[in-house]
Amino acid sequence: MNNIKNVKGLIESFNKQSEQTRYGALIVAVILIVLLDAVFVAMPQLGAIGNTNSQIKDTSENIRQVLSDYARIGLLKKDLAATRGRFTALSDKVRTTMDVSAILGTISNVANEYGVAIDQLDPEWDGKKALAKAAGAQYYTLPVLVKARCGYHNFGRFLSRLENDNLFFIIKDFIIQNEGSDPRVHEFSLTIDLILADRAVSQKL
């Protein structure tokens, strides 16, 4: 009962105030309600929205990273396939240990074509060394001792032609001497390490 009387008293007191005062009090009350709503209702919602935006941004970054990584993987696969193709093509061009006689014949024919006089062309079988196993074959180096006589340009063209005839080799122990009787002719002494393959290994494995 006392509470009801107090409320009635407040209402009567409020009604006795001037109209301007009553409007002012209502405006203050409305402002307080809006502020309280912002503090207790809107702010948590804004915080949740901010967290959601942050999560969306992180997810977008993760998706972009995954797509970028996936694209890189695709490029790496293409590069690997291309490298394997080149290696296979190169391996198929490497002559086998059974082709040594034919290779020596090729060297002699090219020498005759470019005016190179071959004095010695001997494979050193004792110096044959294993390199590695790859693509179903065992690779070796076989040293071939070469001694020849000709001019500089002739010998250069001779070596260039050998490189273009699908012969894979390494030159070492390269020595040039003047022949003496003709200043245009020189003596060339070198070792050609032929790169050979034994593809029978793939059948033995």
Same domain, 89 and 102: no
- Would you say residue 174 has pLDDT above 50? yes
Same domain, 168 and 156: yes
Same domain, 106 and 197: yes
**Overall average pLDDT of the 114-124 stretch:** 93
Same domain, 148 and 89: no
Same domain, 25 and 86: yes
Same domain, 65 and 114: no
- Would you say residue 142 has pLDDT above 80? yes
pLDDT band at 18 (very low <50, low <70, confident <90, very high): low
Same domain, 86 and 118: no
pLDDT band at 7 (very low <50, low <70, confident <90, very high): very low
Same domain, 167 and 123: yes
Q: How far apart, in Å, are the Cα atoms of 89 and each of 73, 86, 97? A: 24, 5, 18
Output the pLDDT for position 76.
Answer: 65
Greater model confidence, 86 or 106: 106
φ, ψ for residue 184, nearest 5 deg? -85, -10
Task: Out of 53, 72, 93, pick the residue that ends a domain.
Answer: 93
Task: Out of 93, 126, 148, pick the residue that ends a domain.
Answer: 93
> What string of H, E and C letters represents the secondary structure of the chain?
CHHHHHHHHHHHHHHHCCHHHHHHHHHHHHHHHHHHHHHHHHHHHHHHHHHHHHHHHHHHHHHHHHHHHHHHHHHHHHHHHHHHHHHHHHHHHCCEHHHHHHHHHHHHHHHHHCCCEEEEEEECHHHCEEEEEECCEEEEEEEEEEEEEECHHHHHHHHHHHHHCCCCEEEEEEEEEECCCCCCCEEEEEEEEEEEEECCHHHHC
The distance of Cα 11 from the centroid of its chain, to the nearest Å, equals 84
Same domain, 102 and 175: yes
Return the C-alpha torsion angle 117, 118, 119, 125, nearest 10.
170
Same domain, 127 and 197: yes
Greater model confidence, 190 or 201: 190
CA distance 152 to 187: 10
φ, ψ for residue 180, nearest 5 deg? 110, -55
Same domain, 74 and 133: no
- Would you say residue 59 has pLDDT above 60? yes
The distance of Cα 77 from the centroid of its chain, to the nearest Å, equals 9
Task: Out of 58, 93, 128, pick the residue that ends a domain.
Answer: 93
Same domain, 42 and 21: yes
Residue 122, domain CATH: 3.30.70.60
Domain that residue 83 falls in: 1-93
pLDDT digit string (tens) for 20-55? 665 566 666 666 666 656 555 555 665 656 666 676
Q: How many domains does the chain have?
A: 2
Sole residue written with tokens 């009387």: 5
